[in-house]
Protein backbone atom coordinates (compact mmCIF):
# COMPACT_ATOMS: atom_id res chain seq x y z
CA UNK A 1 0.00 0.00 0.00
CA UNK A 2 1.32 3.43 -0.87
CA UNK A 3 1.94 5.61 2.16
CA UNK A 4 0.73 8.79 0.47
CA UNK A 5 -2.54 7.22 -0.64
CA UNK A 6 -4.08 4.22 1.13
CA UNK A 7 -2.05 4.29 4.34
CA UNK A 8 -2.57 8.02 4.90
CA UNK A 9 -6.33 7.80 4.38
CA UNK A 10 -6.75 4.61 6.39
CA UNK A 11 -4.74 5.87 9.36
CA UNK A 12 -6.64 9.16 9.49
CA UNK A 13 -10.02 7.40 9.22
CA UNK A 14 -9.07 4.87 11.90
CA UNK A 15 -8.05 7.71 14.22
CA UNK A 16 -11.40 9.45 13.60
CA UNK A 17 -13.18 6.20 14.51
CA UNK A 18 -11.26 5.93 17.77
CA UNK A 19 -8.93 3.05 16.93
CA UNK A 20 -5.49 2.76 18.49
CA UNK A 21 -3.00 2.81 15.62
CA UNK A 22 0.44 1.30 15.22
CA UNK A 23 1.97 2.16 11.87
CA UNK A 24 5.06 0.25 10.78
CA UNK A 25 6.96 2.58 8.47
CA UNK A 26 9.03 -0.17 6.84
CA UNK A 27 5.85 -2.01 5.87
CA UNK A 28 4.72 0.86 3.64
CA UNK A 29 5.78 1.62 0.09
CA UNK A 30 6.12 4.79 -1.90
CA UNK A 31 7.54 5.97 -5.21
CA UNK A 32 9.21 9.11 -6.47
CA UNK A 33 6.69 11.86 -7.10
CA UNK A 34 6.87 15.01 -9.17
CA UNK A 35 5.99 18.55 -8.13
CA UNK A 36 6.50 21.56 -10.39
CA UNK A 37 8.63 19.47 -12.75
CA UNK A 38 10.97 18.46 -9.93
CA UNK A 39 11.29 14.90 -8.68
CA UNK A 40 10.74 14.36 -4.97
CA UNK A 41 12.50 11.17 -3.95
CA UNK A 42 10.52 8.29 -2.50
CA UNK A 43 12.55 8.54 0.71
CA UNK A 44 11.63 12.22 1.16
CA UNK A 45 7.96 11.55 0.42
CA UNK A 46 7.89 8.61 2.87
CA UNK A 47 9.60 10.55 5.66
CA UNK A 48 7.29 13.53 5.13
CA UNK A 49 4.11 11.47 5.30
CA UNK A 50 5.26 9.50 8.34
CA UNK A 51 6.21 12.75 10.09
CA UNK A 52 2.79 14.26 9.38
CA UNK A 53 0.97 11.13 10.51
CA UNK A 54 3.06 11.05 13.67
CA UNK A 55 2.07 14.66 14.36
CA UNK A 56 -1.62 14.10 13.60
CA UNK A 57 -1.68 10.91 15.66
CA UNK A 58 0.55 12.08 18.50
CA UNK A 59 -0.31 9.03 20.57
CA UNK A 60 0.35 6.48 17.84
CA UNK A 61 3.45 4.34 17.41
CA UNK A 62 5.29 4.76 14.12
CA UNK A 63 8.09 2.23 14.21
CA UNK A 64 11.13 2.36 11.96
CA UNK A 65 11.86 -1.36 12.27
CA UNK A 66 10.04 -4.36 13.66
CA UNK A 67 11.42 -7.88 14.02
CA UNK A 68 9.77 -11.07 12.78
CA UNK A 69 9.34 -12.18 16.41
CA UNK A 70 7.35 -9.05 17.16
CA UNK A 71 5.16 -9.58 14.10
CA UNK A 72 4.36 -13.18 14.99
CA UNK A 73 3.18 -12.18 18.49
CA UNK A 74 0.75 -9.53 17.26
Ranking 6-15, 27-36, 47-56, 58-67 by mean pLDDT, the lowest is 58-67
pLDDT greater than 50 at residue 22:
yes
Contacts of 40 (CB under 8 A, 6+ apart): 32, 33, 34
Provide the pLDDT confidence category of residue 65 given band limits of 50, 70 and 90: very low
Long-range contacts of 39-46 (CB under 8 A, 24+ apart): 45/3, 45/4, 46/3
Average pLDDT in the 12-39 region? 86
pLDDT of 4: 75
Q: What is the rounded distance in angstroms from the CA atom of residue 57 to the CA atom of residue 69?
A: 26
Look over the chain and give the mean of its residue pLDDT values, rounded to a whole number: 76
The residue count for the chain: 74
Average pLDDT in the 19-40 region? 87
User: Residue 48, exposed/middle/buried by CB under 10 A (0-12, 13-18, 19+)?
Assistant: middle
Amino acid sequence: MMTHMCVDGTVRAAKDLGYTITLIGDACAIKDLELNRQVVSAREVQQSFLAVLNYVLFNSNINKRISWTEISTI
